[in-house]
Structure formats: structure tokens, C-alpha cells
Amino acid sequence: MIDTHCHLHSKEFDSNRGEILSELKQNNIQAILVGTSIEDSIEAIKLAKDYNFLYPSLGVHPHEYEVIDINTVKQEMDNILSSEYVSAIGECGFDFYYHQSLEAKEQQENLFRLHLDLALKYNKPIIIHTRDSFEDTYRVLSEYKDLVIILHCFTGDVFWVNKFTDLAYTIYFSFSGIITFKNSTDIQEAVKIVPENRLLVETDSPYLAPIPHRGKQNTPLFLEYNIRQIANLRGLEYQTLITILDSNAREAFKI
């Protein structure tokens, strides 16, 4: 199994990271370690070097727009991409849940476009965070071509699956533990219509633990709950879906 989005390198796992990594190895679970700042991405790269079943990404989360200098970020990302292996760019994008001012949206868009340009320059897939911002995310993405997009923790409905699928490049929809929540009916309907070759699964651990572990620390070891729910919703056998998801993840991230 491949968890396409987690944060095992973050401080939340300082007390039990070794135990979790040992279990991941025993259970043949691989994971993409997703960066949320330059410093955080460097930690992901360091951890991935010690474990051949982990793959790092490089990104600056939209929340960081308030504390970064975009020219400095560009230089730092260029330097890292020129000298280190990363599996993807991101996570990046828009998050208007807390930040709704015009200035915040403009600064987040500048940061987002920087990531998109780097993804094109270095031929990397890009992991996109979009919260309360589907319209703006679609607007910006519609201006680009030749991208491989991963819509991380997808929370859109059927309308947005169809809308994004119509864009003229490769786009994947990655579903988290939210798919197991009882009130997530729109997302559950959406997962049923995603093209089979564009479906991914993730934990976003340590966040968004699935039912029956909701409220606890999430880990890639809980990935099976998300997969079982998706299998039930799509009418597939569990092992059949694992094969599909793993193939899609390897294609998306070139691992």
C-alpha cells in the first residue's frame, strides 16, 4: 500500500516515529512525506534518505504566506531541487478557511504559482491543498498545461470531480480519512465517479484519523480503513482496489 500524503517527519511523531516506521516496513506500506515549509521539507528529505520506502516532497503550505519572502523561497526551492531528490512539489495551493482578505488571497496565489512554475521546470508532480477555494484553484490551474496534479485530501462533490477532470492534463484525486465520516456524503458520492486510473488514497497523518480511530493520532497504518471504505463505495474487492491505487501512485509519483 502507498500512503500518498503524510507527515511522519513532523514533531508530532517524535515520541513514536521509530515504532511506526518499523511497522510500516513489516506491513510493506510506503509513504510520501509531504513538506509544508522549507525547513519541514528538509526534514522530510532527511528522513526519506534513511528509509527506502519513504519519498519526500518539497513545498510551502499556503498558511506560510504571512511569514515567508517569496524570492527567498524561490531561491531555496531551486537550490534544493537542483541538489536533492524529491518525489513531488507541494503541498501548496489555497486555504481561505482562516485567511479571506484580498491581500491574503493574492499572496497565496503568488506562492501557488511559484510552485506550479517549479513543477513545470523540474518535471515534478504537484500536490495541491485547496480549502474553501475550489473556484480559485480551478481558475489558476486552467491557465497551465503539461502538469501532473494531485488534489490532496479531496473534499469536493461530483460537480468538482467533473470540472477538474475536464482540465487538459493529468489530475489525480486523493481521498483521506474524511471518506469514512458519516456526514461526508458528498465526498462519498464523488469518489464513486473518479476515473479508476485517477484515484489515490492518503492518511494526511497525524491528522484526519478515520473511523473507528477518529480523534486519535493518525498514521499510515490506518490507510486500510480509507481503502476499505472506497472499495465499498465503488463496489470493488479490497485487494483489487489496493492494486489499482498502488499502480496509480507509482505512475503519479514515478516511484
- In tens, the pLDDT along 52-110 reads 999 999 999 999 999 999 999 999 999 999 999 999 999 999 999 988 899 999 999 99
The tens digit of pLDDT for each residue in 150-170 reads: 999 999 999 999 999 999 789
Decide if pLDDT at 190 tops 90: yes
- What's the rounded Cα separation, in Å, for the pair 137 and 148? 15
What is the 8-class DSSP label of residue 177?
G
CA distance 39 to 17: 18
pTM of the model: 0.97
| pLDDT for the residue numbered 169 | 86
**Tens of pLDDT along 201-243?**
999 999 999 999 999 999 999 999 999 999 999 999 999 999 9
Supply the mean pLDDT for the chain. 97
Average pLDDT over residues 180-198: 97
CATH architecture of 60-253: Alpha-Beta Barrel (3.20)
Band (pLDDT 50/70/90 cuts) for residue 135 is very high
Residue 118 confidence (pLDDT): 98
Residue 56 CB contacts under 8 Å (≥ 6 apart), including other chains: 9, 32, 33, 35, 41, 44, 45, 47, 48, 85, 86, 87
Other CB atoms within 10 Å distance of the CB of residue 15: 9
Q: Which of 221, 241, 192, 167 is nearest to 6 (CA)?
A: 221
Please give the distance of CA 47 from its chain centroid, rounded to a whole number.
18
CA distance 214 to 180: 9
Integer Cα distance of 121 and 57 in angstroms: 15
The whole-number average pLDDT for the span 39-63 is 98
